[in-house]
Structure 1
Amino acid sequence: MDWTVWAGLAAGLLIAMVTAPVGVSGAVFLLPVHLSVFGVPNPAITPTNLLFNVVAGPGALWRYRRDGALRGGLARRLVAGTLPGVVLGAAIRVFALPGPGVFRLLIAALLLPLGVWLCVRTLAPAPVRAGAAAEPSPAALTTLAVAVGVVGGIYGIGGGSLLGPILAARGLPMARVAPAALAATFATSIVGAGAYALLSLIGGDVAPSWWLGLACGLGGLVGGYLGARLQPRLPETTLRLLLGGLAAVLGTFYAAQTLA
Protein backbone atom coordinates (compact mmCIF):
# COMPACT_ATOMS: atom_id res chain seq x y z
CA MET A 1 0.00 0.00 0.00
CA ASP A 2 1.31 3.46 -0.91
CA TRP A 3 2.84 5.45 1.97
CA THR A 4 0.42 8.31 1.36
CA VAL A 5 -2.51 6.12 2.41
CA TRP A 6 -0.97 5.33 5.80
CA ALA A 7 0.15 8.93 6.25
CA GLY A 8 -3.35 10.12 5.32
CA LEU A 9 -4.94 7.79 7.86
CA ALA A 10 -2.65 9.05 10.61
CA ALA A 11 -3.07 12.72 9.68
CA GLY A 12 -6.86 12.46 9.52
CA LEU A 13 -7.11 10.65 12.86
CA LEU A 14 -4.85 13.02 14.79
CA ILE A 15 -6.28 16.22 13.36
CA ALA A 16 -9.92 15.20 13.78
CA MET A 17 -9.35 14.05 17.36
CA VAL A 18 -8.04 17.52 18.26
CA THR A 19 -10.56 19.56 16.28
CA ALA A 20 -13.85 17.64 16.77
CA PRO A 21 -14.32 18.84 20.38
CA VAL A 22 -14.54 22.43 19.10
CA GLY A 23 -16.79 21.79 16.10
CA VAL A 24 -14.18 21.71 13.35
CA SER A 25 -13.92 18.69 11.08
CA GLY A 26 -10.19 19.17 10.61
CA ALA A 27 -10.23 19.65 6.83
CA VAL A 28 -8.94 23.20 7.14
CA PHE A 29 -5.88 21.87 8.99
CA LEU A 30 -5.36 19.22 6.33
CA LEU A 31 -4.90 21.95 3.72
CA PRO A 32 -1.20 22.59 4.48
CA VAL A 33 -0.61 18.83 4.72
CA HIS A 34 -2.21 18.23 1.33
CA LEU A 35 -0.35 21.13 -0.25
CA SER A 36 3.09 20.65 1.29
CA VAL A 37 3.34 16.93 2.09
CA PHE A 38 1.13 15.14 -0.43
CA GLY A 39 1.42 17.67 -3.26
CA VAL A 40 -2.30 17.74 -4.12
CA PRO A 41 -2.73 20.34 -6.90
CA ASN A 42 -5.17 23.22 -7.00
CA PRO A 43 -8.12 23.20 -7.42
CA ALA A 44 -8.33 19.42 -6.77
CA ILE A 45 -7.37 20.04 -3.14
CA THR A 46 -10.81 21.51 -2.46
CA PRO A 47 -12.92 18.47 -3.45
CA THR A 48 -10.35 16.25 -1.71
CA ASN A 49 -11.04 18.09 1.53
CA LEU A 50 -14.78 17.85 0.95
CA LEU A 51 -14.38 14.09 0.47
CA PHE A 52 -12.56 13.95 3.81
CA ASN A 53 -15.46 15.76 5.49
CA VAL A 54 -18.04 13.40 4.01
CA VAL A 55 -16.21 10.28 5.19
CA ALA A 56 -15.02 11.63 8.56
CA GLY A 57 -18.14 13.55 9.60
CA PRO A 58 -20.36 10.66 10.82
CA GLY A 59 -17.87 9.66 13.53
CA ALA A 60 -18.19 12.81 15.63
CA LEU A 61 -21.84 13.39 14.70
CA TRP A 62 -22.89 9.92 15.81
CA ARG A 63 -21.27 10.47 19.17
CA TYR A 64 -22.83 13.94 19.60
CA ARG A 65 -26.25 12.61 18.59
CA ARG A 66 -25.94 9.75 21.07
CA ASP A 67 -25.23 12.31 23.80
CA GLY A 68 -28.24 14.43 22.77
CA ALA A 69 -26.07 17.38 21.72
CA LEU A 70 -27.72 17.80 18.30
CA ARG A 71 -31.14 18.73 19.67
CA GLY A 72 -32.46 22.24 19.03
CA GLY A 73 -32.75 24.47 15.99
CA LEU A 74 -29.21 25.82 15.71
CA ALA A 75 -27.92 22.99 13.52
CA ARG A 76 -30.98 23.19 11.22
CA ARG A 77 -30.57 26.94 10.69
CA LEU A 78 -26.89 26.60 9.90
CA VAL A 79 -27.44 23.76 7.44
CA ALA A 80 -30.26 25.64 5.68
CA GLY A 81 -27.97 28.61 5.08
CA THR A 82 -24.73 26.88 4.21
CA LEU A 83 -26.19 24.50 1.60
CA PRO A 84 -26.91 27.13 -1.09
CA GLY A 85 -23.74 29.01 -0.17
CA VAL A 86 -21.44 26.06 -0.75
CA VAL A 87 -22.73 25.56 -4.32
CA LEU A 88 -21.94 29.18 -5.14
CA GLY A 89 -18.56 28.87 -3.46
CA ALA A 90 -17.67 25.81 -5.53
CA ALA A 91 -18.44 27.70 -8.75
CA ILE A 92 -16.34 30.65 -7.62
CA ARG A 93 -13.46 28.34 -6.73
CA VAL A 94 -13.40 26.65 -10.13
CA PHE A 95 -13.93 29.67 -12.37
CA ALA A 96 -12.59 32.67 -10.46
CA LEU A 97 -10.01 31.62 -7.83
CA PRO A 98 -7.78 28.89 -9.22
CA GLY A 99 -4.48 30.28 -7.87
CA PRO A 100 -2.96 29.13 -4.54
CA GLY A 101 -1.77 32.65 -3.64
CA VAL A 102 -5.25 34.12 -3.37
CA PHE A 103 -6.41 30.91 -1.71
CA ARG A 104 -3.87 31.22 1.13
CA LEU A 105 -4.37 34.96 1.54
CA LEU A 106 -8.11 34.59 2.03
CA ILE A 107 -7.63 31.86 4.65
CA ALA A 108 -5.17 34.05 6.57
CA ALA A 109 -7.41 37.13 6.40
CA LEU A 110 -10.39 35.21 7.78
CA LEU A 111 -8.96 32.82 10.36
CA LEU A 112 -6.26 34.95 11.99
CA PRO A 113 -8.54 37.76 13.26
CA LEU A 114 -11.26 35.25 14.18
CA GLY A 115 -8.86 33.22 16.29
CA VAL A 116 -7.38 36.24 18.05
CA TRP A 117 -10.87 37.66 18.67
CA LEU A 118 -12.06 34.45 20.30
CA CYS A 119 -8.98 34.12 22.52
CA VAL A 120 -9.24 37.75 23.66
CA ARG A 121 -12.95 37.35 24.45
CA THR A 122 -12.30 34.14 26.35
CA LEU A 123 -9.58 35.69 28.51
CA ALA A 124 -11.45 38.97 29.07
CA PRO A 125 -13.03 39.77 32.47
CA ALA A 126 -16.48 38.29 33.08
CA PRO A 127 -18.43 41.58 32.51
CA VAL A 128 -16.83 41.97 29.07
CA ARG A 129 -17.62 38.37 28.10
CA ALA A 130 -21.21 38.82 29.26
CA GLY A 131 -21.68 41.71 26.85
CA ALA A 132 -21.05 39.36 23.93
CA ALA A 133 -23.22 36.49 25.17
CA ALA A 134 -26.19 37.11 22.89
CA GLU A 135 -27.30 34.52 20.35
CA PRO A 136 -27.71 35.98 16.85
CA SER A 137 -31.25 36.28 15.52
CA PRO A 138 -32.53 33.61 13.09
CA ALA A 139 -32.09 36.05 10.18
CA ALA A 140 -28.53 36.85 11.23
CA LEU A 141 -27.74 33.14 11.62
CA THR A 142 -29.04 32.41 8.12
CA THR A 143 -27.05 35.29 6.60
CA LEU A 144 -23.92 34.16 8.42
CA ALA A 145 -24.46 30.57 7.31
CA VAL A 146 -24.85 31.55 3.64
CA ALA A 147 -21.65 33.62 3.74
CA VAL A 148 -19.74 30.84 5.49
CA GLY A 149 -21.13 28.32 3.00
CA VAL A 150 -19.66 30.35 0.14
CA VAL A 151 -16.29 30.48 1.88
CA GLY A 152 -16.48 26.79 2.72
CA GLY A 153 -17.25 25.94 -0.90
CA ILE A 154 -14.20 27.90 -2.01
CA TYR A 155 -11.86 26.31 0.54
CA GLY A 156 -13.35 22.83 0.74
CA ILE A 157 -13.57 23.07 4.53
CA GLY A 158 -17.33 22.88 5.06
CA GLY A 159 -17.39 26.13 7.05
CA GLY A 160 -17.18 24.75 10.59
CA SER A 161 -13.80 26.38 11.22
CA LEU A 162 -15.46 29.75 10.62
CA LEU A 163 -18.85 29.14 12.22
CA GLY A 164 -17.27 27.77 15.38
CA PRO A 165 -15.13 30.81 16.27
CA ILE A 166 -17.86 33.30 15.32
CA LEU A 167 -20.61 31.65 17.36
CA ALA A 168 -18.31 30.91 20.29
CA ALA A 169 -17.13 34.52 20.36
CA ARG A 170 -20.79 35.59 20.48
CA GLY A 171 -21.06 33.71 23.76
CA LEU A 172 -22.79 30.47 22.73
CA PRO A 173 -21.57 27.49 24.79
CA MET A 174 -19.25 25.07 23.03
CA ALA A 175 -21.60 22.20 23.85
CA ARG A 176 -24.06 23.77 21.36
CA VAL A 177 -21.61 25.26 18.91
CA ALA A 178 -19.48 22.17 18.21
CA PRO A 179 -22.25 19.72 17.19
CA ALA A 180 -24.12 22.34 15.12
CA ALA A 181 -20.97 23.47 13.29
CA LEU A 182 -20.02 19.87 12.51
CA ALA A 183 -23.54 19.11 11.24
CA ALA A 184 -23.35 22.10 8.89
CA THR A 185 -19.90 21.03 7.74
CA PHE A 186 -21.06 17.49 6.99
CA ALA A 187 -24.19 18.56 5.08
CA THR A 188 -22.44 21.22 3.02
CA SER A 189 -19.55 18.89 2.23
CA ILE A 190 -21.95 16.38 0.67
CA VAL A 191 -23.53 19.09 -1.47
CA GLY A 192 -20.16 20.65 -2.25
CA ALA A 193 -18.66 17.35 -3.36
CA GLY A 194 -21.63 16.83 -5.67
CA ALA A 195 -21.24 20.36 -7.05
CA TYR A 196 -17.58 19.75 -7.84
CA ALA A 197 -18.46 16.47 -9.54
CA LEU A 198 -20.86 18.34 -11.83
CA LEU A 199 -18.45 21.23 -12.40
CA SER A 200 -15.71 18.80 -13.36
CA LEU A 201 -17.80 17.93 -16.43
CA ILE A 202 -17.63 21.49 -17.72
CA GLY A 203 -14.77 23.18 -15.90
CA GLY A 204 -11.76 20.91 -16.29
CA ASP A 205 -10.05 18.49 -13.95
CA VAL A 206 -11.34 19.25 -10.43
CA ALA A 207 -11.81 15.65 -9.32
CA PRO A 208 -10.53 14.83 -5.82
CA SER A 209 -7.51 12.71 -4.99
CA TRP A 210 -9.72 9.73 -4.21
CA TRP A 211 -7.38 7.41 -2.31
CA LEU A 212 -5.89 10.20 -0.24
CA GLY A 213 -9.27 11.73 0.57
CA LEU A 214 -10.70 8.37 1.60
CA ALA A 215 -7.66 7.50 3.71
CA CYS A 216 -7.74 10.83 5.56
CA GLY A 217 -11.50 10.49 5.94
CA LEU A 218 -11.30 7.03 7.52
CA GLY A 219 -8.74 8.31 9.97
CA GLY A 220 -10.96 11.30 10.68
CA LEU A 221 -13.96 9.01 11.23
CA VAL A 222 -12.20 7.40 14.19
CA GLY A 223 -10.53 10.58 15.38
CA GLY A 224 -13.76 12.57 15.25
CA TYR A 225 -15.58 10.00 17.38
CA LEU A 226 -12.80 10.05 19.97
CA GLY A 227 -12.72 13.85 20.01
CA ALA A 228 -16.49 14.13 20.43
CA ARG A 229 -16.36 11.63 23.27
CA LEU A 230 -13.64 13.71 24.94
CA GLN A 231 -15.45 17.06 24.63
CA PRO A 232 -17.74 16.84 27.73
CA ARG A 233 -14.67 16.21 29.87
CA LEU A 234 -12.93 19.45 28.81
CA PRO A 235 -13.62 22.82 30.50
CA GLU A 236 -15.42 25.50 28.44
CA THR A 237 -12.47 27.88 28.67
CA THR A 238 -10.10 25.20 27.38
CA LEU A 239 -12.35 24.48 24.41
CA ARG A 240 -12.65 28.17 23.51
CA LEU A 241 -8.93 28.76 23.74
CA LEU A 242 -8.27 25.61 21.71
CA LEU A 243 -10.62 26.76 18.96
CA GLY A 244 -9.25 30.30 18.91
CA GLY A 245 -5.67 29.10 19.04
CA LEU A 246 -6.14 26.64 16.17
CA ALA A 247 -7.72 29.33 13.99
CA ALA A 248 -5.01 31.90 14.81
CA VAL A 249 -2.15 29.47 14.22
CA LEU A 250 -3.50 28.38 10.84
CA GLY A 251 -4.15 31.99 9.81
CA THR A 252 -0.60 32.92 10.77
CA PHE A 253 0.78 29.96 8.83
CA TYR A 254 -0.97 31.00 5.64
CA ALA A 255 -0.08 34.68 6.10
CA ALA A 256 3.59 33.71 6.36
CA GLN A 257 3.33 31.53 3.25
CA THR A 258 1.67 34.35 1.31
CA LEU A 259 4.31 36.90 2.29
CA ALA A 260 7.26 34.55 1.72
Structure 2
Amino acid sequence: MDVATGLTGFLAGLLISAVTAPVGVSGAVFLLPVQLSVLHVPSPAVTPTNLLFNVVAGPGALARYRRNGQLTGPLARLLIAGTVPGVVLGAVIRVFAIPGPRVFRLVAAAVLLPLGLWLCARALRPGTPDRPPLPRRAILGLSLLTGTVGGVYGIGGGSILGPILAGRGTPMTQIAPAALASTFVTSIVGAATYGVLALTTSGDIAPHWLLGLLCGAGGLIGGYLGARLQPRLPERTLRLLLGTLATALAVLYLIQATTAATG
Protein backbone atom coordinates (compact mmCIF):
# COMPACT_ATOMS: atom_id res chain seq x y z
CA MET A 1 0.00 0.00 0.00
CA ASP A 2 1.40 3.41 -1.00
CA VAL A 3 1.38 6.64 1.01
CA ALA A 4 -1.41 8.23 -1.06
CA THR A 5 -3.75 5.30 -0.41
CA GLY A 6 -3.06 5.39 3.32
CA LEU A 7 -3.59 9.15 3.50
CA THR A 8 -6.84 8.88 1.54
CA GLY A 9 -8.10 6.22 3.93
CA PHE A 10 -7.17 8.31 6.97
CA LEU A 11 -8.90 11.45 5.68
CA ALA A 12 -11.96 9.51 4.54
CA GLY A 13 -12.33 7.94 7.99
CA LEU A 14 -11.92 11.32 9.71
CA LEU A 15 -14.42 13.24 7.57
CA ILE A 16 -17.06 10.53 7.46
CA SER A 17 -16.95 9.84 11.20
CA ALA A 18 -17.18 13.55 12.04
CA VAL A 19 -20.50 13.68 10.17
CA THR A 20 -21.99 10.34 11.24
CA ALA A 21 -21.01 10.15 14.93
CA PRO A 22 -23.53 12.78 16.10
CA VAL A 23 -26.44 10.60 14.94
CA GLY A 24 -25.02 7.25 16.03
CA VAL A 25 -24.41 5.89 12.54
CA SER A 26 -21.14 4.08 12.01
CA GLY A 27 -18.89 5.74 9.46
CA ALA A 28 -18.31 2.28 8.02
CA VAL A 29 -21.64 2.59 6.20
CA PHE A 30 -20.20 5.29 3.97
CA LEU A 31 -16.57 4.19 4.09
CA LEU A 32 -17.41 0.92 2.34
CA PRO A 33 -17.92 2.41 -1.16
CA VAL A 34 -14.71 4.41 -0.72
CA GLN A 35 -12.86 1.18 0.03
CA LEU A 36 -14.38 -0.59 -2.96
CA SER A 37 -14.17 2.16 -5.58
CA VAL A 38 -11.24 4.35 -4.47
CA LEU A 39 -9.00 2.19 -2.31
CA HIS A 40 -9.76 -1.00 -4.30
CA VAL A 41 -10.11 -3.36 -1.35
CA PRO A 42 -11.31 -6.71 -2.76
CA SER A 43 -14.53 -8.41 -1.73
CA PRO A 44 -15.11 -10.03 0.77
CA ALA A 45 -12.01 -8.60 2.52
CA VAL A 46 -13.71 -5.20 2.51
CA THR A 47 -16.20 -6.38 5.15
CA PRO A 48 -13.70 -7.35 7.89
CA THR A 49 -11.66 -4.25 6.99
CA ASN A 50 -14.77 -2.19 7.72
CA LEU A 51 -15.21 -4.00 11.03
CA LEU A 52 -11.58 -3.24 11.89
CA PHE A 53 -12.32 0.42 11.15
CA ASN A 54 -15.20 0.34 13.63
CA VAL A 55 -13.00 -1.21 16.32
CA VAL A 56 -10.32 1.47 16.00
CA ALA A 57 -12.63 4.44 15.40
CA GLY A 58 -15.34 3.63 17.95
CA PRO A 59 -13.56 4.71 21.18
CA GLY A 60 -13.25 8.30 19.92
CA ALA A 61 -16.96 9.10 19.93
CA LEU A 62 -17.67 6.79 22.89
CA ALA A 63 -15.11 8.58 25.05
CA ARG A 64 -16.80 11.88 24.38
CA TYR A 65 -20.30 10.52 24.97
CA ARG A 66 -19.15 9.00 28.24
CA ARG A 67 -17.69 12.33 29.29
CA ASN A 68 -21.07 13.90 28.52
CA GLY A 69 -22.80 11.29 30.70
CA GLN A 70 -24.70 9.79 27.74
CA LEU A 71 -23.61 6.17 28.10
CA THR A 72 -25.99 5.38 30.93
CA GLY A 73 -29.23 3.43 30.71
CA PRO A 74 -30.20 -0.05 29.47
CA LEU A 75 -30.48 0.65 25.73
CA ALA A 76 -26.82 -0.06 24.90
CA ARG A 77 -26.86 -3.39 26.80
CA LEU A 78 -30.05 -4.44 25.02
CA LEU A 79 -28.64 -3.66 21.58
CA ILE A 80 -25.40 -5.50 22.31
CA ALA A 81 -27.25 -8.61 23.55
CA GLY A 82 -28.97 -8.97 20.18
CA THR A 83 -26.34 -7.78 17.72
CA VAL A 84 -23.41 -9.85 19.01
CA PRO A 85 -24.82 -13.29 18.01
CA GLY A 86 -26.24 -11.72 14.85
CA VAL A 87 -22.91 -10.41 13.61
CA VAL A 88 -21.34 -13.88 13.92
CA LEU A 89 -24.13 -15.36 11.81
CA GLY A 90 -23.76 -12.54 9.31
CA ALA A 91 -20.03 -13.14 8.94
CA VAL A 92 -20.61 -16.81 8.15
CA ILE A 93 -23.30 -15.93 5.60
CA ARG A 94 -21.02 -13.31 4.00
CA VAL A 95 -18.17 -15.76 3.47
CA PHE A 96 -20.04 -18.88 2.41
CA ALA A 97 -23.28 -17.62 0.83
CA ILE A 98 -22.70 -14.27 -0.93
CA PRO A 99 -19.01 -13.85 -1.81
CA GLY A 100 -19.64 -12.36 -5.29
CA PRO A 101 -19.35 -8.56 -5.79
CA ARG A 102 -22.69 -8.25 -7.64
CA VAL A 103 -24.65 -9.95 -4.88
CA PHE A 104 -22.73 -7.94 -2.33
CA ARG A 105 -23.76 -4.67 -4.05
CA LEU A 106 -27.39 -5.76 -4.02
CA VAL A 107 -27.18 -6.56 -0.30
CA ALA A 108 -25.50 -3.23 0.38
CA ALA A 109 -28.23 -1.41 -1.56
CA ALA A 110 -30.93 -3.29 0.35
CA VAL A 111 -29.40 -2.04 3.60
CA LEU A 112 -28.70 1.54 2.53
CA LEU A 113 -31.94 2.32 0.70
CA PRO A 114 -34.40 1.87 3.60
CA LEU A 115 -31.90 3.46 5.97
CA GLY A 116 -31.63 6.54 3.75
CA LEU A 117 -35.35 6.87 3.08
CA TRP A 118 -36.14 6.51 6.77
CA LEU A 119 -33.71 9.25 7.74
CA CYS A 120 -35.04 11.56 5.01
CA ALA A 121 -38.66 10.98 5.98
CA ARG A 122 -38.02 11.82 9.62
CA ALA A 123 -35.99 14.91 8.68
CA LEU A 124 -38.68 16.23 6.32
CA ARG A 125 -41.47 15.64 8.84
CA PRO A 126 -40.05 16.97 12.11
CA GLY A 127 -43.53 17.55 13.51
CA THR A 128 -44.60 13.91 13.14
CA PRO A 129 -45.96 12.64 16.48
CA ASP A 130 -43.74 10.11 18.20
CA ARG A 131 -44.87 6.50 18.20
CA PRO A 132 -44.91 4.44 21.41
CA PRO A 133 -41.44 3.11 22.30
CA LEU A 134 -40.69 -0.43 21.21
CA PRO A 135 -40.88 -3.11 23.94
CA ARG A 136 -37.67 -4.75 25.08
CA ARG A 137 -38.37 -8.01 23.21
CA ALA A 138 -38.95 -6.15 19.96
CA ILE A 139 -35.70 -4.25 20.35
CA LEU A 140 -33.85 -7.50 21.11
CA GLY A 141 -35.33 -9.22 18.04
CA LEU A 142 -34.53 -6.29 15.78
CA SER A 143 -31.02 -6.20 17.23
CA LEU A 144 -30.50 -9.84 16.25
CA LEU A 145 -31.78 -9.19 12.72
CA THR A 146 -29.80 -6.01 12.17
CA GLY A 147 -26.72 -7.61 13.71
CA THR A 148 -26.92 -10.34 11.09
CA VAL A 149 -27.26 -7.82 8.28
CA GLY A 150 -24.49 -5.76 9.82
CA GLY A 151 -22.21 -8.79 9.91
CA VAL A 152 -22.80 -9.29 6.19
CA TYR A 153 -22.29 -5.61 5.41
CA GLY A 154 -19.49 -4.89 7.85
CA ILE A 155 -21.15 -2.20 9.96
CA GLY A 156 -21.85 -4.08 13.20
CA GLY A 157 -25.64 -3.67 13.32
CA GLY A 158 -26.18 -0.69 15.61
CA SER A 159 -26.02 1.69 12.67
CA ILE A 160 -29.10 0.10 11.13
CA LEU A 161 -31.14 -0.15 14.31
CA GLY A 162 -30.41 3.45 15.32
CA PRO A 163 -32.58 5.02 12.60
CA ILE A 164 -35.41 2.61 13.43
CA LEU A 165 -35.38 3.76 17.04
CA ALA A 166 -35.19 7.37 15.89
CA GLY A 167 -38.32 6.80 13.81
CA ARG A 168 -40.09 5.67 16.98
CA GLY A 169 -39.25 8.97 18.62
CA THR A 170 -36.32 7.96 20.82
CA PRO A 171 -34.08 11.03 21.30
CA MET A 172 -30.79 11.07 19.44
CA THR A 173 -29.00 11.83 22.71
CA GLN A 174 -29.93 8.28 23.79
CA ILE A 175 -29.67 6.53 20.43
CA ALA A 176 -26.28 7.81 19.27
CA PRO A 177 -24.13 6.54 22.17
CA ALA A 178 -26.08 3.26 22.47
CA ALA A 179 -25.89 2.51 18.74
CA LEU A 180 -22.18 3.31 18.57
CA ALA A 181 -21.47 1.19 21.66
CA SER A 182 -23.33 -1.71 20.05
CA THR A 183 -21.45 -1.22 16.78
CA PHE A 184 -18.12 -1.14 18.61
CA VAL A 185 -18.68 -4.38 20.54
CA THR A 186 -20.17 -6.29 17.62
CA SER A 187 -17.38 -5.13 15.32
CA ILE A 188 -14.82 -6.67 17.68
CA VAL A 189 -16.74 -9.95 17.60
CA GLY A 190 -17.25 -9.75 13.83
CA ALA A 191 -13.61 -9.00 13.08
CA ALA A 192 -12.54 -11.93 15.27
CA THR A 193 -15.02 -14.19 13.46
CA TYR A 194 -13.61 -13.23 10.07
CA GLY A 195 -10.11 -13.83 11.40
CA VAL A 196 -11.05 -17.39 12.40
CA LEU A 197 -12.76 -18.01 9.06
CA ALA A 198 -9.66 -16.75 7.24
CA LEU A 199 -7.65 -19.58 8.82
CA THR A 200 -9.93 -22.24 7.34
CA THR A 201 -11.17 -20.67 4.09
CA SER A 202 -9.35 -19.61 0.93
CA GLY A 203 -9.73 -16.16 -0.62
CA ASP A 204 -9.47 -12.53 0.51
CA ILE A 205 -11.28 -12.92 3.83
CA ALA A 206 -8.78 -11.44 6.29
CA PRO A 207 -8.95 -7.66 6.75
CA HIS A 208 -6.41 -5.33 5.16
CA TRP A 209 -4.82 -4.53 8.49
CA LEU A 210 -2.78 -1.42 7.72
CA LEU A 211 -5.49 0.27 5.70
CA GLY A 212 -8.14 -0.58 8.29
CA LEU A 213 -5.96 0.85 11.04
CA LEU A 214 -5.30 4.07 9.12
CA CYS A 215 -8.98 4.57 8.30
CA GLY A 216 -9.79 3.82 11.91
CA ALA A 217 -7.24 6.34 13.18
CA GLY A 218 -8.97 9.01 11.13
CA GLY A 219 -12.34 7.81 12.41
CA LEU A 220 -11.07 7.95 16.01
CA ILE A 221 -10.39 11.67 15.66
CA GLY A 222 -13.45 12.41 13.54
CA GLY A 223 -15.78 10.49 15.86
CA TYR A 224 -14.58 12.43 18.90
CA LEU A 225 -15.08 15.74 17.11
CA GLY A 226 -18.53 14.71 15.88
CA ALA A 227 -19.68 13.63 19.32
CA ARG A 228 -18.37 16.86 20.79
CA LEU A 229 -20.30 18.91 18.24
CA GLN A 230 -23.58 16.98 18.63
CA PRO A 231 -25.27 19.49 21.00
CA ARG A 232 -24.55 22.31 18.52
CA LEU A 233 -25.64 20.58 15.29
CA PRO A 234 -29.24 20.72 14.01
CA GLU A 235 -30.57 17.17 14.11
CA ARG A 236 -32.92 17.69 11.15
CA THR A 237 -30.10 18.78 8.83
CA LEU A 238 -27.85 15.88 9.84
CA ARG A 239 -30.55 13.27 9.32
CA LEU A 240 -31.46 14.72 5.93
CA LEU A 241 -27.81 14.79 4.86
CA LEU A 242 -27.19 11.21 5.96
CA GLY A 243 -30.44 9.99 4.43
CA THR A 244 -29.71 11.61 1.08
CA LEU A 245 -26.19 10.19 1.00
CA ALA A 246 -27.32 6.69 1.95
CA THR A 247 -30.07 6.74 -0.68
CA ALA A 248 -27.67 7.95 -3.37
CA LEU A 249 -25.20 5.19 -2.53
CA ALA A 250 -27.95 2.57 -2.68
CA VAL A 251 -28.98 3.76 -6.14
CA LEU A 252 -25.35 3.68 -7.26
CA TYR A 253 -24.96 0.08 -6.09
CA LEU A 254 -28.17 -0.93 -7.84
CA ILE A 255 -26.92 0.60 -11.09
CA GLN A 256 -23.55 -1.15 -10.74
CA ALA A 257 -25.21 -4.48 -10.01
CA THR A 258 -27.57 -4.11 -12.98
CA THR A 259 -24.71 -3.14 -15.29
CA ALA A 260 -22.69 -6.16 -14.18
CA ALA A 261 -25.65 -8.44 -14.85
CA THR A 262 -26.25 -7.09 -18.38
CA GLY A 263 -22.60 -6.55 -19.28
Of residues 202, 205, 229, the one that matches 1:204 is 202
Specify the alignment match of 1:123 in structure 2: 124
Going from structure 1 to structure 2, the CA distance change for 1:250 and 1:170 (only over 3 Å counts) comes to farther
**Is residue 95 from structure 1 mapped to residue 96 from structure 2 by the alignment?**
yes
Equivalent in the alignment of 2:56: 55
Provide the C-alpha distance between the structure 2 equivalents of 1:218 and 1:33, rounded to a whole number of angstroms. 16
Query: In 2, Cα distance between the equivalents of 1:211 and 1:125?
Result: 42
In structure 1, what is the equivalent of residue 224 of structure 2? 225
State the Cα distance separating 1:253 from its structure 2 match: 2.4
Q: Which range is displaced more, 241-250 or 98-107?
A: 241-250
1:41-97: per-residue Cα shift (whole Å, max 9, x none)?
111111100110000000000001110111111111001100000000001111111
Other-structure match for 2:7: 6
Output the CA distance in 1 between the equivalents of 2:168 and 2:85. 24
CA contact (8 A) 1:161 1:247 kept: no
CA contact (8 A) 2:123 2:237 kept: no
Task: Report the Cα distance in structure 2 between the residues aligned to 1:222 and 1:143, rounded to whole angstroms.
Answer: 33
Are residue 245 (structure 1) and residue 254 (structure 2) matched?
A: no
Q: 1:89, 1:52 → 2: CA distance?
A: 17
SS at match of 2:38: helix
Partners of 1:134 and 1:249 in 2: CA distance? 30
- How far apart are residue 166 of structure 1 and its match? 1.2
- 143, 146, 149: which one pairs with 1:148? 146
Q: Equivalent residue of 1:42, what SS?
A: coil
Distance 2:153 2:9 in 1: 19
Deviations 1:170-205 (A, max 9, x none): 211111111111111000000001101111111224
2:22–2:230 contact (8 Å) kept in structure 1? yes
Distance 2:158 2:248 in 1: 16
Q: Distance in 2 between matches of 1:226 and 1:58?
A: 12
Aligned length: 257
Task: Give the stretch that moved more between structures: 152-161 or 67-76.
Answer: 152-161
- The 2-side partners of 1:125 and 1:151 are apart by 28
1:201 and 1:240 mapped to 2: Cα distance?
40
Instruction: Give me the identity figure in percent.
Output: 66
Q: Scaled by the length of structure 2, what TM-score is found?
A: 0.93
Q: Are the aligned partners of 2:56 and 2:220 in contact in 1 as well (CA < 8 Å)?
A: yes
* 3-state SS, counterpart of residue 195 of structure 2: helix
What is the deviation of 1:25?
Answer: 2.0
Measure the CA separation in 1 of the matches of 2:154 and 2:135. 27
Q: In the alignment, which residue of structure 2 is the partner of 1:256?
A: 255
CA distance in 2, matches of 1:36, 1:122: 29
Cα separation, 1, equivalents of 2:51 and 2:253: 20
SS at match of 1:149: helix
2:157 is matched with which residue?
159
Deviations 1:122-155 (Å, cap 9, x if unpaired)?
A: 32373xx21x432211000000000011011111
Q: Relative to 1, partners in 2 of residues 1:15 and 1:122: Cα closer, same or farther, differing over 3 Å?
A: closer
Q: Secondary structure, in 3 states, of the residue corresponding to 1:157?
A: coil
State the match for 1:133 in structure 2. Answer: 131
Q: Is the 8 A contact 2:48 2:194 kept in 1?
A: yes
